[in-house]
Structure 1
Amino acid sequence: MGALIPVLLLVLGLAAGVGAGFFLRPAPPEPPTASSVDEGPAEAAAPLKAAEPVEVELSFVKINNQFVVPVIKDDLVSALVVLSLSLEVPAVDTSAIYDREPKLRDAFLQVLFDHAYLGGFDGVYTASTAMDTLRSSLLASARRVAGENVSDVLITDIVRQDM
C-alpha cells in the first residue's frame, strides 16, 4: 500500500502536465488567405522586406594564452607588453575560432610585433587613438584568418613592464 501512493502521485502529475501542455499550446499559424495567394511576386515579397532582421547571438572567445611582446630600443629589450585578447563572434562559430587559434595567434603576434616596432607601445600606449589603431589592425588580421564572422577584437588585459 505504501508503494502505491508514489506511483499514483507520479501518474497524476504526468496527467496534469500533459493536460496543461495540451491546453496551453500556442495557436497554429494562420494559413495564407486567398488575397495573398493572388498577389504578384513583388506584392507578396513586400511583407518579407518589412520583417525585422534576425538577431545573431554573439559570444566571446578568449584566446587561451597571453601575448608577450618585446619593446626594442637600441637593439635591447627595454620593456615587455603582455596582452590578453578575446574575439566577438556568432555563438555558432566559437568552435571554428578554437580550431584556427594557432593561425590566429601567429597573425596577432605579427600585428603586435609590427605595432611595437612602430612605437605603438611607447609613451601613453593606452591612449584611445593608439588602442583604436591596434584594435583595427587586430580585427583585420582576425578576419583574414577566421573570416568576416569576427565582429570585434577585445583587448581584455594590457600591461607594460619596463626593464
Structure 2
Amino acid sequence: MIKNLVGGFIMVIFVIGGAIAADALKPGDKRFFGNAAPAATAAAPGENAGPAGAENAGAQEKSSKKDAHGGNPANTGSTAYYKFSRQFIVPVVSDSNVQSLVILDLNLEIDPNLGESLYAMDPKLRDVIMTELIALSNEGRFARRMTDPSNYAEIRMRLLTAVQTVQAKGVRDVLILDLARQDQ
C-alpha cells in the first residue's frame, strides 16, 4: 500500500515539476529571454533589439548622427517584424467534410515603435486573421492553386485589411513565411 502511495506521489511531483519547467522556459517569457517583446524584432541597423541591445549601444550612438539630408538615417525606412507565437491552421471544407488543412506562418511588417502594443493585442489580431482565413477558405481560395500570384496577393491584401481593422496605424504589410496544404 505504501509503495502505491509513494509511486503516485512521485508521479504527481514529476508532472507538476514538468509543467512548471515548461511554463518557465516557453518562448516569450521575459524572465528568461530578456526584456524585449519576444514577438517584435527590429530590422533596422543600430536599433536596440532586446538582449543584444547593450552590444549595439555604440551603433545607436552612430545612428544618431545626421545623414546628408539632415535626417536621422535610422528613422528613414526602419522596419520591425511582429512574429506570431504559433502558426495559423485553416480547414478547407467541401460537402461538410474537411478535405485538407492549410498551415500558414505569418509575420507583420510594422513600425518599430509598435511592437509592445501588438504583443498586448495578439489574441485580437489572431482572431481577426483567423476569421478572414476562414472566409477565404469558404470562398475556395485555399482549394484552388494557392501559389497563383494573384490569389497569393489577394490573400495578403485581405489579411492586411483585417489586421488594420484592429490596428489602423503602423502595420505595413502581412508576410506569408510558410504556406502548406495537407490533404486528408
Residue of structure 2 equivalent to 1:38: none
Deviates more, 1:53-62 or 1:101-110: 53-62
What amino acid maps onto 2:98 in structure 1?
Answer: V
What amino acid maps onto 2:148 in structure 1?
Answer: A
Residue of structure 2 equivalent to 1:91: 112
What amino acid maps onto 2:80 in structure 1?
Answer: S
Percent of aligned pairs with the same residue? 32
Query: In structure 2, what is the Cα distance between the partners aligned to 1:63 and 1:146?
Result: 15
Query: What is the aligned counterpart of 2:80 among 47, 55, 59?
Result: 59
Query: In structure 2, what is the Cα distance between the partners aligned to 1:136 and 1:125?
Result: 14
Deviates more, 1:96-105 or 1:54-63: 54-63
Residue of structure 2 equivalent to 1:79: 100
Query: In structure 2, what is the Cα distance between the partners aligned to 1:126 and 1:112?
Result: 16
Q: Give every structure 1 segment of 4 or more consecutive aligned residues whose post-TM-superposition deviation is greater than 6 Å.
A: 50-53
Query: In structure 1, what is the Cα distance between the partners aligned to 2:144 and 2:158?
Result: 19
What amino acid maps onto 1:161 in structure 2?
Answer: Q
Contact 1:71 1:117 in 2 (8 A): yes
Deviation at 1:126, TM superposition (A): 1.4
Residue of structure 1 equivalent to 2:177: 156
Contact 1:88 1:152 in 2 (8 A): yes
Gaps of 5+ in 1: 1-49
Query: In structure 1, what is the Cα distance between the partners aligned to 2:98 and 2:132?
Result: 18
Contact 1:61 1:86 in 2 (8 A): yes
Deviation at 1:52, TM superposition (A): 6.2
Residue of structure 1 equivalent to 2:143: 122
5 Å-filtered alignment, 1:2-151, equals 55-151=76-172
Deviation at 1:154, TM superposition (A): 0.3
- Normalising to structure 2: TM-score of the pair? 0.59
Larger Rg: 1
Deviation at 1:123, TM superposition (A): 2.5
Total equivalences in the alignment: 114
Contact 1:62 1:85 in 2 (8 A): yes
Residue of structure 2 equivalent to 1:20: none
Secondary structure, in 3 states, of the residue corresponding to 1:151?
Answer: strand
Deviation at 1:92, TM superposition (A): 1.2
Q: Which has the higher contact order (CA 8 A, sep 6+)?
A: 1
- Normalising to structure 1: TM-score of the pair? 0.66
Query: In structure 1, what is the Cα distance between the partners aligned to 2:167 and 2:146?
Result: 27
